[in-house]
Structure 1
Amino acid sequence: MSGWRRRLEADWTQIRQQLIAELEAARLDDIGVSPAQCEVESLVAMARTVLGPGVEAPIARLLHLDAALCQMELGLYGLCSDCEEPLDPIALDNDPAMQRCPRCEARYRKGDHTREL
C-alpha cells in the first residue's frame, strides 16, 4: 500500500502545484489570499472561479486523489466507496485513485447515486 500512497501523494502534489501556478499567473494579488496556502476545497473553488471550465479535468483528478488519500487515513482504501467490496489490486495499480468497482462505477456513470451519503 505504501507504493500506492507515494503515487497518490506525488500526483496530488503535482496537480495542486499546477493549479497554484495557474492561479498565481492570473495575478490574484488583489484578493489577499495566496493559493499556495489554501486547503483543497478553497483551491478548487478559487480555480473554478478564476480559471473557468478549462480546469475541470485537473480539479476532478485532484479531488479523486484527495478522496483516495482520505480513504487511506480512514483504513478504507482499496474498498469500493459504494458497495465496500475489495477493489482489484491490478486495477489499483493502473489507477490508485480508483473509487469504485466496475459494477458500481457503471451505475455511477449512468447517474445512479442512490448509495451516496
Structure 2
Amino acid sequence: MNSDYLQQQSTRLEQEYEALSVELYSALNAIRADSTEKSQPEKTINELLTLATHSAEPVLGRKARRLEAIDAALCAIRLDLYGICTDCEEPIDTVTLEQDPAQPRCHQCQSHSKYHHQRS
C-alpha cells in the first residue's frame, strides 16, 4: 500500500476514533451524573473502554469495541502491518478496507470467524 493511501486511512481512523471517544465520554459522564460517582476524576481511555464494555447499555459496548478495533488498525499502520489479515496474513482487498478501514480480516477469514462465533 502506498503512503498516500495509508495516510488517508489513518486520517479516517483518527477522526472516527476522536468522535467515538467524545461520544463515549459524554454518555458515561451523563450516566455518572445520575449516580453517586460525581466527584471522581476524568477517566483514562482504558478505564472508559472498560466501563463502556461492562455497561448495561448495549450501544456503549458496541462503541467501545469499535474504538478498540480502530486503535488496533492505527497500531497496524504504525507497525506497517495494515491491510494484512490478522488470521491468515494474506492482503485484505482495498474494497473491504474502504468499507471499513478498521477491518482486521480478509473476506474469507471474516466469514469463517463470523460463522464460528455465531454458533457458540
TM class by smaller structure: 0.7 to 0.9
Contact kept, 8 Å, 1:83 with 1:104, in 2: the verdict is yes
Report how far residue 51 of structure 1 moved: 5.1
SS of corresponding position for 2:57: helix
Name stretches of at least 5 consecutive residues in structure 1 with no aligned partner. 113-117
Report how far residue 75 of structure 1 moved: 1.2
CA displacement, residues 57-92 of structure 1 (integer Å, 9 cap, x when unaligned): 212211111110111121111100111111111221
Q: 1:96 aligns with which of 91, 101, 116?
A: 101
Contact kept, 8 Å, 1:23 with 1:50, in 2: the verdict is no
**Residues paired across the two proteins, number:** 108
Which amino acid in 1 is paired with 2:114? R
Matched with 1:82 is 87
Contact kept, 8 Å, 1:23 with 1:51, in 2: the verdict is no
Matched with 1:44 is 49
CA displacement, residues 5-27 of structure 1 (integer Å, 9 cap, x when unaligned): 00000001101110001111122
Q: 1:34 aligns with which of 38, 42, 63?
A: 42
SS of corresponding position for 2:105: coil
Q: Percent identity at matched positions? A: 31
SS of corresponding position for 1:17: helix
Aligned-residue Cα RMSD (Å) equals 1.7
Matched with 1:115 is none
Report how far residue 104 of structure 1 moved: 0.6
Which amino acid in 2 is paired with 1:104? C
CA distance in 2, matches of 1:105, 1:8: 20
SS of corresponding position for 1:84: coil
TM-score, structure 2 as length reference = 0.80
Name stretches of at least 5 consecutive residues in structure 2 with no aligned partner. 1-5
For 1:55-70, what aligned pairs fall within 5 Å after superposition?
55-70=60-75
CA distance in 2, matches of 1:102, 1:79: 12
SS of corresponding position for 2:81: coil
